[in-house]
Amino acid sequence: MIEVVVPATSANFGPGFDTLGVSLNLYNRFYIEEIEKGLVIEGCAEEYKNEDNLVYTSMKRCFKKLGYKEEGIRIIIESDIPSSRGLGSSAACIVGGILGANSIAGNKLNKDEMLKLATEIEGHPDNVAPAILGGMTAAIYEDNNVYYDKIKIKEGIKFCALIPNFKLSTEKSREVLPKEVAYKDAVFNVGRVSLMITSLINGNYDLLKIACKDKLHEPYRSRLIEDYDKIIDLCNDSGALGVFLSGAGPTIMILLEEKNTQFYKNIKGLLKNLKKVWKFKELHMDLKGAIAKEY
């Protein structure tokens, strides 16, 4: 039996659309083993217990790459990452499947090779890179290659995820994006990505409120999230260092000083007055990334 533990991820970090992501200490666990024949999937909704399951299809891609022939597979899923909320649940399934298959086939792929395969499946590396590597990453996909670097965030910062009781599919959130963006909006984001990275590395957290701003996807996706602007204002007024839409949404991610304990008391009461139910979860960076072990 192989156990694969994959962290949640928050991508599109501030203005880092499709490039910046961070792994967080919220996990999906996948227990995978070979069986005599067939496919058995447990721990998920009935509609996903078939050969189209993302964990299984990712395993098949990995097996094909390695030239490994499996007879049958059993997958048990324990999921703590909420699906379709912008916290990398799909990336976790892809990474879980690849690490599981790689372990069964004899660990022939290194992390860079697994990252490339995961990116080919996902289409972009902003979630799968931090899921595999841990911490915060900057990653791009060009000419069928993944180029990445890790960003060492200075100590003293933590995260708070505001997770609503409704889903938002990546497909739907992609549909609202424009085909082209204004030159000034591109320049706006380039400047803030630069400021974001240096602020996190140097610990100049007073700059994050400005650096978190985005004009490439949040103005369009925020329209799909009720009370979005009100929540952003509430978070900023309650002492947030910065606020941004996590992934494709609808989860909203807040950056906080490690010592800030008052934020939760403030925001809890304010969220009760909103039409939708929002839950907050304090999170920290996961520095290890996905881990597979056999037992």
pLDDT of 270 > 80? The answer is no
Q: Is 222 annotated as a binding residue?
A: no
84 annotated among ligand-binding-site residues? yes
Q: Reply yes or no on whether the pLDDT at 71 is more than 90.
A: no
- Number of independent structural domains in the chain: 2
91 annotated as a binding-site residue:
yes
Co-location of 162 and 17 in the same domain:
no
CATH code for position 272? 3.30.70.890
Do the strands 145-151 and 136-142 form a parallel or antiparallel pair, or are they unpaired? antiparallel
Does the annotation list 134 as a binding residue? no
Per-residue confidence at 164, pLDDT binned at 50, 70, 90? very high
Same domain? 100 vs 199? no
Residues 142 and 209 in one domain: no
- In 86-156, where does DSSP find H-type helix? 89-104, 111-122, 128-133
Return the sign of the alpha-carbon dihedral for residues 69, 112, 11, 77: positive
Confirm or deny that 26 is annotated as ligand binding.
no
Q: Are residues 94 and 192 in the same domain?
A: no
Its domain, for residue 252, covers: 157-283
Q: Are residues 162 and 273 in the same domain?
A: yes
Is 139 known as a binding-site position?
A: no
CATH of the domain at 35: 3.30.230.10
Closest CA to 285 of 265, 255, 261, 259: 255
96 labeled binding residue: no
Residue 226 is given by DSSP the state T
Mark whether 113 and 169 lie in a shared domain: no
Together in a domain, 39 and 111: yes
Contacts with 5 (C-beta within 8 Å, 6 or more apart), sequence order: 27, 28, 29, 290, 291, 292
pTM above 0.85, yes or no: yes
Is 49's pLDDT higher than 80?
yes
**Do the annotations mark residue 11 as ligand-binding?**
no
Is 82 in the same domain as 167? no
Q: Is 8 in the same domain as 136?
A: yes
Q: Is 173 annotated as a binding residue?
A: no
Region 29-44: mean pLDDT is 96
Max Cα–Cα distance, the chain, nearest Å = 59
Q: Do 69 and 191 reside in the same domain of the chain?
A: no
